Structure 1
Amino acid sequence: MDKPTHLIEYETMLLGRHRHLDRSAYTLLSRIRTAGMMSIGQLSEAFGLDVSTLNRHTSALLRDGLAERIADPDGGIARKFRLTEAGERYLDDERTKNIRGLEKVLADWTPEEVAEFAAFLGRFNTDVERLGGRSWPRPDPASRQESGTR
């Protein structure tokens, strides 16, 4: 593990162990919140996953009352998923926990180091998205400031 790419792979794998909420639920809820209502087909395209996998994950969201399926407001045939009030609260609570945890970890970092790390993570993710052909919508900078993120 002496190559930097090997170290990055290992460290990004370790990041996944710190999730409180089921990672797929957190990611699905975040995507729907950021992009707006989405059908199974749109989710399949966005995540590069087959419909049967997404049906299992979205069924869990429906069962837990975190999302609901509604008729397409634009008149399309496919039904769309949207977050319920409980889903919005749950996502907010989990995001708050994640941010608090990050703030504890980064407490000894300078604001410049935190900003630089965030910029590198953003660049890394957008490069992965570019290579995979699937971009991820991001909240505008004003909403990130309002939510208290660094």
Structure 2
Amino acid sequence: MEKLERELMLLSRHQVLGRRERDPERLERSAYLLLSRIETQGPMSIGQLADAFGLDTSTVNRQTAALLRCGLAERVADPDGGMARKLRITVEGGRRLAGDREVNRSCLARVVAGWSPEEVRELEDVLVRLNRSAEALEGRYWPRTEEDGARAVCPPPVPQESATPAPAADSRI
């Protein structure tokens, strides 16, 4: 576990260093995550976003207020007829998210340029498994889009028995 923890820490370091220093117009991490979730799941209320990320509603309220001020999201009536107003991505928010995503993918392509397609798929599969295992422990699942582009929520994975008990999950971010 020591090596795994160290490598995951280093991986997050590489992503953070590449984000803001190269282009100050890039989205903040919280904006990227919120917009990505809304893009995948569709319009969401502040309460739904708070539940999805396991955050306090006041924290999500501050983060979404920044999205609204920058014109990256807008408040809309609940498309399902509910009482709460929901947030959806604006055209500008979609453009900025797509731009950041393209930069991220371009950087990743340079990182794995010497890898075979099979090695890239193997890494993708392992990371999906890692993320789904973490989601199962937290009880919060990230919706995943199907290959056809339709919105879909990934069904919760079935937890598997382990020979060693898992440590208690820490809900802090």
* TM-score range normalised by the length of the shorter chain: 0.7 to 0.9
Structure 1 residue 14: Cα displacement? 1.8
Is 1:38 aligned to 2:23, yes or no?
no
Q: Which has the higher helix share?
A: 1
Establish whether residue 60 from structure 1 lines up as the match of residue 69 from structure 2: no
Residue 91 of structure 1: aligned partner: 97
2:13 maps to 14
Q: Which runs of 5+ in 1 are unaligned?
A: 144-150
User: 5 Å matches for 1:1-150?
Assistant: 3-17=2-16, 18-19=18-19, 20-143=26-149
Distance 1:6 1:75 in 2: 44
**Matches of 1:49 and 1:113 in 2, distance apart?**
35
SS of the aligned residue for 1:54 comes to helix
Query: Following the alignment from structure 1 to structure 2, what is the Cα–Cα distance between the partners of residues 83 and 30?
Result: 9
Deviation at 1:25, TM superposition (A): 0.3
Between 69-78 and 53-62, report the one with greater CA deviation: 69-78
- TM-score normalised per structure 1: 0.88
Partner AA of 2:53 in structure 1: F
Does the 8 Å contact 2:27/2:96 carry over to 1?
Answer: no
Query: What percentage of residue pairs aligned between the two structures are identical?
Result: 51
Shift of 1:75: 2.1
* Code of the aligned partner of 1:71: A
**One-letter code aligned to 2:5:** H
Which amino acid is 1:140 matched to? E
Q: Please provide the CA RMSD for this pair.
A: 1.5
Using the alignment, how far apart are the partners of 1:142 and 1:77 within structure 2?
31
User: How far apart in 1 are the matches of 2:117 and 2:79?
Assistant: 43
Instruction: Structure 2 unaligned segments of length 5 or more: list them.
Output: 20-25, 150-173
**Misfit runs of 4+, over 4 Å:** none
The change in CA–CA distance for 1:121 and 1:15 in structure 2 (over 3 A counts) is farther
Equivalent pairs, count: 142
